[in-house]
Amino acid sequence: MEGLNQIKKDIKEKKLKGSYVLFGHDEGIIKSYVEEIKASVLSGAFSDLNFTEFDGRKLESIDDVINACETLPLLSPYRIVLVYRATFLESNEDPKEKKIVDSLLKYIPEMSDQTILIIYSVLYSKRDKPSSKIKRFEKVCKVIEAKYDSKEKKSVVSGFIKDIINASGKSINKVELEILFELYKNSDSMLIKNELDKLLSFAEGDMVSKEHIRAICTKSSDDDIFDLVDNISNKKFSQTLDIMNDLFYKGEKPEGIIFFIERQLRLLLFIKYGINENKSVEYISKSLNLNAYVCKNMMNQSNGFTIPQLMKSLEICLDSEKKFKSESIDKSAELELLIINLMSII
């Protein structure tokens, strides 16, 4: 199984050939690479005639796909056949879909050298993993996971955000762009586009400001946990429960929320040690692999705690975590009790 760099390499070296199976959580990324392949291979007045696509959700058999693959390209060295949203690659035992997979696995090694077949499957949940059907294709073609590596993610996502904002006629400064990246770095491009459309409709003037972002943009779970811990430190029980219920609504489980609280408290403890040793923001953020902007906010948050309070809070979290694993309990009630216990020592 390979990454997007393989497609980049094939495009750069003009070695695009055979079949590609792409999968990932962000359909926007997948589509952008399909377009890159098309732009690299097809050009001129006949490009549309050398491109055929099929909706993988409606595919009854691969006969039409094979016919398209076997059609000779018109005044071009290649033709491209795309099967998008290939639900037959998902984890299920539908006999019809199994037959499609088996037929493709048999056909691809015999496919014309003048055809590039692209099949892609979207993983709709962040917890979804590639099915065993996708892995079977590794024997006959290149299987690509459509996600950016950590080095290029920030550049690509920030560039995507900036391009949308600039295209609207507005501008954004570096700090505000950094905030938007932190908010949406784990979101798919379609969600980012929708959120930015709302932001740009709301934002007055030529610049996107922090106030606009704060008023409109959806918070990530990390932001919710930051606010939740902040409210715990200020003993605001009602507001803390509101945030906890929002997290439940977003699909977070009590075990996950405890994990996030524990992680936040541990980071605050390390930050507190760093501050006491007169370490710089740059040093602390780099040591903890935190964005500098996020680190500054957490340094301010750490002022609401002492080191003994943070250590005791972590002990309480670990005790609750053990109960979740070893006892049949009402986990939501246990989480509320955890919050009360944390407030009692701060």
Domain ranges across the chain:
2-145, 150-216, 221-344
Nearest C-alpha neighbor of 76 from the set 53, 47, 112, 116:
47
Query: Do 164 and 196 touch, CB atoms closer than 8 A?
Result: yes
The confidence score (pLDDT) of residue 125 equals 56
* Neighbour-count burial for 69-87, b at 16+ CB within 10 Å, e otherwise: bebebeebebbbbbbbbbb
Residues 6+ apart with CB under 8 A from 60: 96
The confidence score (pLDDT) of residue 334 equals 87
Distances (CA, A) of 62 to 23, 91, 97: 19, 19, 10
Kindly report, residue by residue over 194-233, the tens digit of the pLDDT: 889 889 999 888 999 988 887 787 666 677 888 889 888 8
> pTM of the prediction?
0.55
The three-state secondary structure class of 306 is: coil
Indicate the DSSP class of residue 206: S
Mean pLDDT computed over every residue of the chain: 86
Can you tell me the distance from the alpha carbon of 299 to that of 95, in angstroms, rounded to the nearest whole number? 57
Kindly report, residue by residue over 45-72, the tens digit of the pLDDT: 778 899 999 999 889 889 999 999 999 9
CATH classification code of 150-216? 1.10.8
Judge if 150-216 and 221-344 fold alike in CATH terms: no
Instruction: Provide the CATH topology of domain 221-344.
Output: Zinc Finger, Delta Prime; domain 3 (1.20.272)
| CA angle, 185 then 32 then 200, to 5° | 55
The confidence score (pLDDT) of residue 161 equals 92
Query: And the tokens for 52?
Result: 């055929």
Residues 6+ apart with CB under 8 A from 14: 40
Indicate the DSSP class of residue 327: S
Beta bridge partners of 172: 208
Can you tell me the distance from the alpha carbon of 197 to that of 199, in angstroms, rounded to the nearest whole number? 5
Nearest C-alpha neighbor of 124 from the set 23, 1, 214, 208:
23
Query: And the tokens for 235?
Result: 């003993």
Distances (CA, A) of 67 to 47, 48, 115, 136: 18, 17, 11, 23
Q: Taking residues 308-318, what's their average pLDDT?
A: 92
Give the lowest-confidence range in 6-15, 61-70, 165-174. 6-15
Can you tell me the distance from the alpha carbon of 253 to that of 321, in angstroms, rounded to the nearest whole number? 13
Q: Which is the CATH superfamily of the domain at 2-145?
A: P-loop containing nucleotide triphosphate hydrolases (3.40.50.300)
pLDDT at 112 over 70: yes
